[in-house]
Amino acid sequence: MRALARLGAAVVGVALALTGCASPPAAPAGSGAPMTSPVVKQKVVVFAAASLTAAFKELATQAPGLDISYTFDGSPTLVEQLNAKPDVADVLATADEPNMKKASDAQLIKAQPTIFATNTAVLIVPKDNPGKVTGLNDSLTGKKLVVCAPSVPCGAAARTIAQNAGYSLQPVSEEQKVTDVVGKVTSGEADAGIAFSTDAKSAGDKVATIQLPGADKVVSRYPLAVTAKSTRPEAAAAFVQLVTGEKGRAVLTRYGFTLP
């Protein structure tokens, strides 16, 4: 009898332990208790100008309902890729209007694009400025200057600024995206480069910035639009709203963009 009593007590103990470890049952419907369910994210693919890299990556952390996949590159390259495969992206964001117009003329986007930010160009040098560059002047003679290619927004801006200043650019290389210009300057491969002010800010103390006279008159306007062949138009529209809304404007301002 004592053995049976001890066995019974042991069974009760095990039952109680298992009950204590078990997960609580889901609240019955109509009970008023909160129900938990996993958040279903909407996937959206965004083609964006390279100068938007830092700002857009941070913006993705503020969009819990969106699963954002980015491709960052020079604006003409993005348009070319979209033209080759129109359904590869849901949103296109370029660093200038001419490249977005090319996309519009090719019927690659829906409706009228929205201008969401502006930018201007600056001259950047390595933080210690070993080439002793002071601007678009004789200090660049014999120095390695890198700029963006003419079809790339930062390249078009650089040439307009130089032309207005009466200076002839003599770059040693022309890059397809502004982040490559910054990379060559920060690595010491170049003595100077012309990039957007936001890219200089993102580079932090790796570069020193030299203002270009007249740069404030050569403003690059950033448009974005939902692509014509987007397979996720609702998620694409949500991303556009995120960029143009309060959160997007705050992030863009923090990274040095000017709002229209």
Q: Rounded to whole angstroms, how far apart are CA atoms 229 and 239?
A: 16
Q: 73 and 201 in one domain? A: no
**Gap between the Cα atoms of 122 and 22, Å rounded:** 63
CATH number at residue 96: 3.40.190.10
Distance CA 144, CA 191 (A): 5
Tell me, yes or no, whether 182 and 128 share the same domain.
yes
pLDDT digits (tens, 9 = 90+) for 110-165: 989 999 999 999 999 999 999 999 999 999 999 999 999 999 999 999 999 999 99
> Same domain, yes or no, for 175 and 53?
no
pLDDT digits (tens, 9 = 90+) for 36-51: 556 689 999 999 999 9
> Considering only CA atoms, which of 131, 238, 145 is closest in space to residue 190?
145
Tell me the one-letter amino acid at 64.
P
Task: Taking residues 22-36, report their average pLDDT.
Answer: 48
The pLDDT tens digits for 168-183 are 999 999 999 999 999 9
At 2, give phi and psi (nearest 5°).
-60, -40
Q: Which residue, chain included where needed, has tokens 């201007």?
A: 120
Residue 227 and residue 113 share a domain = yes
Nearest Cα neighbor of 120 from 206, 31, 209 is 209
Q: What does the DSSP 8-state code read for residue 138? A: G
CA-closest candidate to residue 125, choices 224, 237, 215, 212: 212
Ordered DSSP codes for 171-206 = -SEEESSHHHHHHHHHTTS-SEEEEEHHHHHHHGGG
Answer whether residue 156 is part of any domain. yes
- Same domain, yes or no, for 106 and 229? yes
According to the model, what pLDDT value does residue 37 have?
55
Range of the domain at 179: 121-217
Query: 53-60 and 246-254 helices cross at what angle (nearest 10)?
Result: 140
- 163, two tokens: 């032309």
In whole angstroms, what is the distance from residue 25 CA to residue 27 CA? Answer: 6
Asked if residue 24 is part of any domain, the answer here is no
| Residue 243 domain-assigned (yes or no) | yes
**Nearest-10 Cα torsion for 19, 23, 24, 28:** -120
Number of structural domains (the chain) is 2
